[in-house]
A and B are shown apart, each in its own frame.
Chain A
Amino acid sequence: MINLEGVTKKYSKDSVALDDINLKIGSGEFVSIVGQSGTGKTTLVKLLIAEERASIGLVEVGGINISKLRRGEVPLLRRQIGVIFQDFKLLQKKTVQENVAFALQVAGAPHKRIKEIVPKVLSIVGLEHKMHRFPDQLSGGEQQRVVIARSLVHRPKILVADEPTGNLDTINTEEIMDILKKINEFGTTVILVTHNRDIVNHLKRRVVTLDGGKIISDEKHGRYRL
């Protein structure tokens, strides 16, 4: 599903975010990518959604070489991958319903389909009763659930969550993690980027540890070891 071969990302001569990364993630896996701040975790996410380009190496998602993707093809890739951000990245001037619908509207989905899917997805994350509210009228946990709903509307095969619980309290963190596990159970590949030790240890899934831009461990049923 995801294949990184000899990937290096340099922002400048002295700033190497990722150094010769080799990583394969199969379909339906739940992989935690851990590491301390500045170890290249977010850069890895940015490479996967083509927000950044690798300086050297091959980045393949679903058999497509992202490094060679043309600018005009990037939106098509992003519609295939669900992304959850730590800072939510919700459109503040749009309601919950409009935020979720927007992901379908950009793809040219017909109005009827949007009207059908959006309430369904919002009910999965338990927000169907707050669909007419604006993001600033929701708690952090609720905003993150809206982001999850938005990332699910395309029924993506891959879901990338970059520190999804970074701004949340324990209860909200558990809720979000339960939703992510459910999504994974339905067959979606989940890539969780985090530095939350408890989450990783509790999951007991594959753990890839980054340090200084390099992969220092890759365990099938790993623990947070830093």
Chain B
Amino acid sequence: MISFLRLIKFALQDIFRNFSLSFMTVLILVLMLLSINTLAIIQVLTDEATTSVKNKVDVTVYFDHEATDEDISEIKGYVQSFPEVTSIKYLTREEVLEEFRSHHQDNAEIIESLDELEENPLGPTMVIKTRQPSDYQKIINSLNVPEYETLIEAKTFGDTEIAIDRINVITRQVERFSIILTGLFTIIAFFIIFNTIRVSIYTQRVEISIKKLVGATNWFVRGPYIIEAFIFSIISTAGAYGLVYIASGAMDPYIEVVFGRADILTNYFVSNIIMLVGIQFVTVLLLTIFSSLLAMRRHLQV
């Protein structure tokens, strides 16, 4: 216990008496964590963009105006039975007409033509949304059966099919790119941290050998460095996360303009704080301890 307390004391002394070196080490760690967090921000924004586009995609089923309420109800129930379907919005003929009018209120020609007709020419419609854009094809196929042929006038999915395929391709590519970029950044971070720690240990090689010559065991020499690694990891993780949180707060109003949703980044960093801080802290800690022990190995052979 006495030795452990001494190691903590030595570690704190080392940090403050080698303040510039300690500061540079923490700074490098913070910069590396900021790079990794930037990737997380890119990932969040990509997800948000993809979700936003996916939400705009749906399948609209236009019923023949002769389709009865029973027919429509049957089809609705049939579509609802698919687990992929997340929502169905049914619009009556009147609602469709009203929506059509409001959508084209600036186009006098269309409104006049509509007024000339004695009867509502539009049939009821059903807007279907699924979990994944790739699920739409399944729903369309299920409606392409002879018994519904006369009841359904049109389905708009055909127009958006290519767009959905493109979104799926882009999403997959972005995910792949993010994984590669994260991997690359992690490797770069590893080498920078490893070399920073190595330089730091190298500058203290004489001290290490002196400690050994006056009778210190290897663990008595290593101890303060491990505690320093622990302290550096806490400071750098907290510092980097704090900076990311502040930056998120500053960026959110601009992101809100694009996606129409407030506090996207702040919410992400708050709701995932335990996971993100935990992973970053453990990674930095293991990396610094591993680098310290590896760099020290040679100097301990006195």
Residues of A within 8 A of B (CB): 49, 51, 72, 75-76, 78-79, 83, 85, 89-94, 102-103, 105-108, 110-111, 150, 154
Contacts and interface: CB of A to CB of B under 8 A. Distances in A.
10 contacts: A49-B213, A78-B213, A85-B213, A89-B209, A90-B210, A91-B207, A103-B214, A105-B6, A107-B215, A154-B215
A20 to B, nearest CB: 26
Given A90-B210, A91-B210, A93-B17, A79 B217 contact: no
Contacts of A91: 207, 210-211
Q: Which of A79, A85, A102 has the most CB of B within 10 A?
A: A102
B216 A75 contact: yes
Given A51-B213, A75-B216, A108-B3, 7 more contacts: A49-B213, A75-B212, A93-B13, A102-B211, A103-B215, A105-B3, A110-B2
Given A93-B18, A105-B6, A108-B3, A83 B213 contact: yes
A92 B207 contact: yes
Contacts of A106: 211, 214-217, 220
Interface string B4-32: 00100000011001100000000000000
Contacts of B3: 105, 108
Contacts of B207: 91-93
A106 B212 CA distance: 9
Nearest to A105: B6
Nearest to B301: A71
Contacts of B212: 75, 78
B302 interface: yes
A49 B213 CA distance: 8
B257 to A, nearest CB: 53
Contact of B215 (A79, A85, A89, A110): A79
A110 B6 CA distance: 11
A89 B215 CA distance: 13
Contacts of B18: 93
A136 B163 CA distance: 73
A76 B216 CA distance: 9
A170 to B, nearest CB: 27
Contacts of B210: 89-91
A124 B3 CA distance: 27
Main secondary structure of the interface of B (DSSP, over half): helix
Interface residues of B, number: 20
Contacts of B302: 51
B14 A93 contact: yes
Q: Which of A72, A78, A150 has the most CB of B within 10 A?
A: A78
Contacts of A107: 215
B17 to A, nearest CB: 4
Contacts of A108: 2-3
A105 B18 CA distance: 21
Contacts of A79: 215
Nearest to A72: B217
Interface string B202-238: 0000110111111111001000000000000000000
Contacts of B216: 75, 102, 106
A75 B6 contact: no
A150 B206 CA distance: 17
Contacts of A76: 215
Contact of B214 (A78, A93, A111): A78
A90 B213 CA distance: 11
Q: Which of A76, A106, A150 has the most CB of B within 10 A?
A: A106
A154 B3 CA distance: 17
A143 B3 CA distance: 27
A89 B211 CA distance: 9
Interface in B88-110: none
Interface in B272-302: 302
A78 B2 contact: no
Q: What are the 4 A-B residue pairs with the smallest beta carbon separation, nearest first?
A: A79-B215, A78-B215, A106-B216, A93-B17
A91 B216 CA distance: 13
Given A89-B210, A111-B2, A75 B14 contact: no
